[in-house]
Structure 1
């Protein structure tokens, strides 16, 4: 019996799979067992065609392929290559498959193709420190070459894959790794990447100085933000420009976004730009929160940005379900036979009108809403949900005399400097995602600031969660100001962004 190592994806994590083969006497047959999906069952025809078109004999025996462990359901077309190699080399006795994991989909003529699941599988195995060497096609190798500490061998077709195992010197098939060609900064011997390209620039926004300052704080510290204002005042414009000025990204974060892009059936681009997800208010709860079988918008926005436009129009069940990922930075989905945990370290941006018609704050238009309609509209956002928002901003109505205030590059440079301060302090997370212990360690107040916070807590009846939110926002404001301590002016500015 010969064994080749491969793997299968279960939700977002990979499990190592051993592809086992036996060739016994009996009526010729070809069977794949071990809970294979329909993709894998179809592998029999692809494998047979690939072998026969390349002049390899298909053994006239009873062939059994087992995918172990048998209790886990296997999916993906990347098992084609391991199965074909086991059949093509079944008579060879000195072949060593022990130290290498093999992935690849076969075309009918023996060409090896990439599949969307190969990159997230190998990335997951690398994080688990399971994989050291892999054999894949060139397109797969281009993607996984960004993953550190893995030796990659590259083959074009089934003939080269068979030749790979017959050669003693395998360096001819070694794939040269590619480095990320982006601007980077090195902090504490770790690289962080960023790109200063702004297809949507803050320079396009006229006026709204307070809202732009709040957006800067949100980007620098990864703070959740709610923008309230009349239609056309620039709420969506700010949300669309935020991803380009957010903090530099580590290699792990770039790979995480690439993995989520692959799972979303998109081609990963490996750019150090935070992903932005913008679900419509008519989206179902399953499409936003996800399920045990598929990723939702909340999971796909991890280490990026999630934007809810016209947030009062989203169903209350969805908004209340957001409380867990906003508070714990993770989402646990429990079903009868499975429990899946998704990381949700995203920047949450919400936008809303001041009333159903949108004209409540207008100086030129009359509001058509009754007090009851306005109260009902705003009551769709519960207090526990709003308590999880760090920054609340009421935006001014646009004026023809308003001018551009600042460009995205200037804002991005400020974010980068604040980011350096956070990492140099030894923080693993940005200020907005600090836990209780980290808040005590990094959010240091001066004596004057402590007294101010005590008075604010009494006057505004602030919850412990609200106090922590104020401290984290104050920490970011101090970082943007280049201050190691949180001073009175930083705390006052933070309190000004709390919803009352």
Structure 2
């Protein structure tokens, strides 16, 4: 019995599937089994049409196609090509499909189409080391070409796929690999990619020099940031411009971003611009963290992995959402458990949020009078718990001054500083940027001089800093030191870091 390799997606990971078939005497029927979805069941009609239109006689036999292992639920139209090839070669015992994987949806005339699930499946299989050769259509090949250690063979239609199987010169169908066309940094033999286009520029933000500096620190070290200020002072403007000055991305991060785009049914791009997710404060807990009655589905925090997650009007998010954020902010992962499965998502996002100082928003305004009483302000502030705020690296109170300074800072200037700090972190051998360092890595990389050690001890006593707060101070100080080109954390670096702690 001949076996053709394909795959199915189980939440975010792919599972290799064997497409096998039997042709026996009996009443002519065509059945597909193996815990299949409706999209696979409908494959029978597409396969029949594609074979008959292209001159194949459908065998007058009892045909059973099995997708193995049968206990795994399968979905997707990409099985069409593998099923059609099983039938096309049913009477040819000499044909060997080797270790090729076949993916593609069949049009009724036999043309092969791309599907949204092909890219995340192939990427997952490559990471597991289960796939080296894949046969797909040209549209799929354009997406897969950036995946390393993968040979891609391109076929346009069913007849060409059959010709490929028969051919002894399979290299004629090989799709040419192409380099990602972006600016490249090479550090310790690793390549990192970045863009220098700034559709939204920091030069548009009038004044707010301290906020821009905080945004640069946030980007340089992937630090969590809260901005508090009156309406219209520039909080949202700064947040939306942050994604364009974020650090360069590795090829693995770019591919992971593309995978999440495909799973979110978005157009896949391979740009080194980090993802920016901005859910509304009325969003449900399931939409933010992932959920589903039987199968776990990704939420906003999983889709923002290696990117930015922006919460505007932070205190208006539900208490359950804010408290549930504590785990992914601290551990950079979250486990979603359901009756049928459990899935662990990575959540290495940079958390950005904006909030007003009071319900009416005018508490810090120099021109408008606040209409809130002390009780209303206290209730508003109490929506953010101390354990939640303890996980924030940078807390910035913004004024509503709009002095049009001639010394305008641009996104290009900020990005250049971020890249310099990024290079220093990678040259030290850091796998993660400063904001995501573990406790052991903090001891290794966040080294203070004697004067800074004394200042930190005084700050711990005076401000009653927790162990987590001290680590946050050290990580921010390490980033400031990198921006200032200091090998160890100096007094000035530490004082600036302490200045960004919430009082």
Shift of 1:91: 1.0
Which residue of structure 2 aligns with residue 45 of structure 1? 45
Contact 2:296–2:342 under 8 Å retained in 1: no
Contact 1:101 1:133 in 2 (8 A): yes
Aligned to 1:197: 197
Higher mean Cα deviation, 185-194 or 90-99?
Answer: 90-99
Partner of 1:462: 465
Please list, as runs of the form range in 1=range in 2, the aligned pairs for 1:304-323 lying within 5 A after superposition. 304-323=307-326
Q: Structure 1 residue 103 and structure 2 residue 106: aligned?
A: no
Q: Which residue of 2 aligns with 1:396?
A: 399
Taking the TM superposition and a 5 Å limit, the aligned residue runs for 1:476-495 are 476-495=479-498
Q: 1:254 — aligned with what?
A: 254
What secondary structure is seen at the aligned counterpart in 2 of 1:31?
Answer: strand
Q: Who is 1:35 aligned against?
A: 35
Query: Deviation at 1:39?
Result: 0.8
TM-score by length of 1: 0.99
The residue aligned with 1:153 is 153
Counterpart residue number, 1:181: 181
Cα-to-partner distance string for 1:12-31 (whole Å, 9 max, x where unaligned) = 11111111111111111111
CA shift, 1:399, in A, is 2.7
Which stretches of structure 1, 4 residues or more, deviate above 6 A after TM superposition? none
Aligned residues: CA RMSD? 0.9
Give the Å deviation of 1:404: 5.8
Helix, strand or coil at the partner of 2:336 = strand
| Residue 333 (structure 2) pairs with residue 339 (structure 1) | no
Match of 2:215 in 1: 215
- Return the alpha-carbon distance in structure 1 between the equivalents of residues 274 and 229 of structure 2: 25
1:329 aligns with 2:332: yes
Determine the structure 1 residue equivalent to 2:372: 369
- Which residue is 2:501 aligned to? 498
Output the CA distance in 1 between the equivalents of 2:85 and 2:484: 61
SS of 1:79's equivalent?
Answer: helix
Partners of 2:219 and 2:89 in 1: how far apart?
55
User: Matched residues in 1 for 2:148 and 2:95: separation?
Assistant: 27
Q: Distance in 2 between matches of 1:402 and 1:132?
A: 57
CA distance in 1, matches of 2:347, 2:187: 25
| Conserved? CA contact 2:296–2:343, under 8 Å | no
Q: Give the conservation status (yes or no) of the 8 Å contact 1:47–1:83.
A: yes
The residue number in structure 2 matching 1:240 is: 240
Q: In 2, are the aligned partners of 1:207 and 1:404 still within 8 Å (CA)? A: no
Instruction: Say which SS state the counterpart of residue 165 (structure 1) adopts.
Output: helix
Q: What is the CA–CA distance in structure 2 between the aligned matches of 1:17 and 1:209, rounded to whole Å?
A: 56
TM-score, normalising length: structure 2? 0.98
Which string of whole-angstrom CA distances, capped at 9 and with x for unpartnered residues, describes residues 444-470 of structure 1?
A: 111111111111111111111101101
Q: Which runs of 5+ in 2 are unaligned?
A: none
Q: Deviations over 1:135-176 (max 9, x none)?
A: 000000000000000000000000000000111011111000
Q: Give the superposition deviation at 1:312.
A: 0.5
In the other structure, the counterpart of 2:135 is: 135
8 A Cα contact 1:206 1:403, kept in partner: no
Aligned match of 1:79: 79
Contact 1:19–1:68 (CA under 8 A) maintained in structure 2: yes
